[in-house]
Amino acid sequence: MDFTISAEQGELRRRILEFAREHLHDRAASPVPDTTFPRDHWRHCASLGILGLPFPEVYGGGGRDALTTVMALEALGQGCADNGLIFAIGAQMWSVQMPILRFGSEEQKHRYLPALCCGDLVGAHAMSEAQSGSDAFSISTSARRIGQGYRLNGTKVFVSQAPVADVFVVFARTGSDPGPMALSAFLVDRSTPGLVVGPPTPKLGLRTSPMASLTFDDCVIPESSRLNLEGRGAQIFRDSIEWERSCILAGAVGAMDRLLNDATKYARERHQFGRAIAAFGAIAHRLIDMKIHLEQARLALYRAAWEKEHGSDGTTLGAIAKLVVSEAYRRCAILAMEIRGGYGYTTDDVEREVRDALGSTIYSGTSDIQRLVIGRSLGLKLT
């Protein structure tokens, strides 16, 4: 296991960092915050190859390995303070593009992946329901066989990018028994009759990554829209959530780096009692703790990405990365706010960083759920 950044990886990171600082102006931090989905920035990131980083070149990707990809996304998060944009990019890569790549037919891969990689299409992942969150396999949205297709009925919630997405990965029940093969996954285009996207769901942070519910009302889809075999939904979900947990917080590690740099600069410039506040132990310790959180998070992220490429226990390492990075990210954001005192609490950029960070221990499985996953690897029968 070697996490030395190669010359090629270093060059990619430098290029992305410069691009992000120069082109991804953070409109959400403007005096009048613009919290709409930044489609121009999305396209710009896509044109630089960011959305396609780990995907084969034949499908419009960059053919990078998982470790190089998270290193690159980390640089994006470091250079761009629009955490919602970075989150949206990760959500599409890991929970839409990855299941299409790993479980889709050649026709589905050629139809969707190049368009998703180049920014022409936006994709979203629809699993959670009002009564089915962590208990993901208890979903009630149904896909009933009709002739050469299926009829979808049900409602999905917390669908990130739903207000702007063109295609959805939808999980639905195709079997009547409660067993693990009762779910199937489908690729559903936004224009399909019977698919209704709800109004944007208000939320605490990541506001440039809009979220909505989806309702399927006798929504008829062809058999060719099914991803892989009937009954493979749970396996597809498990596989994609593992990628998501391993990699989606890459941008957050970059954000922590940015928060630490900003906080250090502020603490050196801000004077109280005749000296820079960085000279006070209470402030210095906060900066030191931020540095520790950052390095621990970075290591957990790289370790999980390495495991996806070379190891056999991506489930556990992914859960550990998700838990370690998200908890570190929250603490870092709050420490950055505390260092700024009153200026951190008022609505400047740090206040928004805190709101953006708070969601990280909740989405893709809460820290409690990650502990359950890690416990399973120890043979602990936890419920």
Catalytic residues: 244
Q: Judged by CB, which is closer to another protein: 101, or 294?
A: 101
For residue 70, what are its two tokens? 């998270």
Residue 235 touching another protein (CB under 8 A): yes
Residue 311 touching another protein (CB under 8 A): no
Q: What DSSP state is assigned to residue 346?
A: S
Q: Judged by CB, which is closer to another protein: 228, or 367?
A: 228
Cβ proximity of 226 and 185 under 8 Å: yes
Looking at 4-12, 39-47, 233-241, 277-285, which segment touches another protein (CB under 8 A)? 233-241
Dist CA 60 CA 172 (whole Å): 29
Q: Choose, by CB under 8 A, the member of 63, 180, 222, 311 that binds another protein.
A: 180
Q: Judged by CB, which is closer to another protein: 69, or 174?
A: 174
Cβ proximity of 249 and 104 under 8 Å: no
Ramachandran assignment for 40, one of left (phi > 0), alpha (psi -120 to 50 degrees), beta (any other): alpha
Dist CA 240 CA 101 (whole Å): 10
Q: Choose, by CB under 8 A, the member of 5, 118, 181, 284 that binds another protein.
A: 181
**End-to-end Cα, the chain, rounded Å:** 33
| 326: Cα separation from own chain's centroid | 11
Q: Judged by CB, which is closer to another protein: 82, or 242?
A: 242
In 3D space, the residue among 377, 256, 383, 248 whose CA is nearest the CA of residue 323 turns out to be 248
Q: Please state the closest distance from residue 238 (CB atom) to another protein, in A.
A: 6
Q: Judged by CB, which is closer to another protein: 275, or 381?
A: 381
Residue 378 touching another protein (CB under 8 A): yes
Looking at residues 134 to 163 of the shown chain, list those that interact with another protein (rule: CB under 8 A). 137
Q: Rounded to whole angstroms, what are the CA distances from 272 to 75, 221, 261, 275?
A: 33, 65, 20, 6
Residue 230 touching another protein (CB under 8 A): yes
Q: Please state the closest distance from residue 184 (CB atom) to another protein, in A.
A: 8
**Residue corresponding to tokens 């290029």:** 15
Q: Please state the closest distance from residue 191 (CB atom) to another protein, in A.
A: 29
Cβ proximity of 314 and 304 under 8 Å: yes
Q: Choose, by CB under 8 A, the member of 130, 146, 196, 229 that binds another protein.
A: 229
Contact set with another protein (CB under 8 A): 137, 174-175, 179-182, 229-232, 234-235, 238, 376-379, 381
